[in-house]
Structure 1
Amino acid sequence: MAETGETKAPEAADVPTPVKMQVLGQFIRDMSFENIVAQKGVSGDVQPNVSVKVALDAKKRSVDHQYEISTKFEVKSESKESGETLFLLELDYAGIFHVENVPEDQMHPFLLIECPRMLFPFVRRIVHDITRDGGFPPLNLDNVDFVALYRQDLARRMEAQKGDAKPN
């Protein structure tokens, strides 16, 4: 029998199920802004040196497919000349996500890369507004490479495990 050129529809198992991610909510869990310049008084023209530290955490919630992701930022500005702290901003910003159809072996990186990426524009805006409202030029955070951050954390954990496995 001759083929008519029709193609078979792919089997249901052949078609990957698309990932479903939805931001259910986001909020500031904790925030602290210390304006050291106003408290102690720093004189003269000060050239700032700004450092940013980022920490991430993810945990499963009691509801199926829901996760809470926490992004913790520590933004510190110091005088380049004296090293005195000008301001310190600590921000713990969290989001609640509904995530489905992510393979189990890819869930951890997904939660610590994709979810913080969704939250970052809001963190950037908060840091901008708080530094401006605190009497400093508004600070616009550079983009955070969450993939590199995840890889650094994995490497740190592997080194810690190697250190724990060494005989005394």
Structure 2
Amino acid sequence: MAEENNAPVFQIQRMYLKDLSLEQPNSPQILLDQTQPQVDINLALAAEPIAEGLFEVSVTATVTTKLAEKTLFLIEAKQAGIFEIRNLSQDQVEGILGIVCPQMIYPYLRAVVSDVCTRAGFPPVLLTEVNFQAMFEARQQAQLAQQNGQAAATVN
């Protein structure tokens, strides 16, 4: 029975839309322009412990669409989930929080952004697939390089 209490646990507790914002600062005049807009998409990830063994992981997409220098629309959407993670090593937990959880959340975020665009009267913006493992590894390498740089600076 004691072995069962130490078994690794990974479960989704809840998925939810945490924040959503749509701005159309230059409407309705800009809607008459038929020029092809420039679309800029930025993603951000966050993971926070909220209780023993429980973590909130969120993926935020900021979509800015401009015609020349005027903003056509700006969407910021944050999709989040609460995950239970227990009895795993710190490295395993970091990998799950940085790769697995965002992969589970991202399809919901993609649907929200597309839906908001359509409801706002624009063609849907389809967020491309994201390689969260590559993002996680790049972030780890950057942190390691920064730590090595700081260590070298302290030695000199």
Is TM more than 0.5 here? yes
Q: Is the CA contact 2:66–2:72 (under 8 Å) kept in the aligned structure 1?
A: yes
In the TM superposition, residue 163 of structure 1 has moved relative to its aligned partner by 5.5
Give the corresponding residue for 2:92.
106
* Residue equivalent to 1:153: 139
Aligned match for 1:96, one of 61, 82, 92: 82
Letter in 1 for 2:93: M
Q: CA RMSD in A?
A: 2.5
- Aligned residue for 1:127, secondary structure, equals helix
Contact 2:9 2:87 in 1 (8 A): yes
Task: Note the residue ranges of structure 1 that are not aligned, 5 or more in a row.
Answer: 1-16
Within 2, Cα distance between the matches of 1:122 and 1:56? 14
Q: When the two structures are aligned, how many residues end up with a matched partner? A: 150
Q: Is residue 21 of structure 2 the alignment partner of residue 29 of structure 1?
A: no
- Shift in alpha-carbon separation, 1:22–1:101, aligned structure 2, 3 A: same
Call closer, same or farther: CA 1:40–1:154 in 2, change over 3 Å: farther
**What secondary structure, in the 3-state scheme, does the structure 2 residue paired with 1:153 have?**
helix
- Alpha-carbon shift at residue 164 of structure 1 (Å): 4.7
Is the partner of 2:64 in helix, strand or coil?
strand
C-alpha distance in 2, partners of 1:146/1:91?
Answer: 18
Q: TM-score, normalised by structure 1?
A: 0.76
Shift, 1:47, TM fit: 0.5
Q: CA deviation at 1:107?
A: 1.2
User: 1:34-91 deviations in whole A, cap 9, x for unaligned?
Assistant: 12341553543121221211111111222x3211101111111123xx2432111111
Equivalent position to 1:77, from 45, 65, 74? 65
- Percent identity between the two aligned chains: 31
Per the alignment, do residues 39 and 20 of structure 1 end up closer, same or farther by CA in structure 2, a change over 3 Å counting? farther
Provide the rounded CA distance (Å) in 2 between the counterparts of 1:40 and 1:161: 50
Which has the larger helix fraction? 2
The CA distance in 2 between the partners of 1:132 and 1:42, in whole Å, is 14
Moved more, 123-132 or 42-51: 42-51
> Does the C-alpha gap of structure 1 residues 43 and 158 become closer, same or farther in structure 2, counting only changes over 3 Å?
farther
Give the C-alpha shift of residue 147 in structure 1.
1.2
Q: Unmatched 5+ residue regions in structure 2? A: 1-5
CA distance in 2, matches of 1:148, 1:72: 18
- Offset, 1:116: 0.7
1:21: how far off? 2.4
Query: Whose Rg is larger?
Result: 1
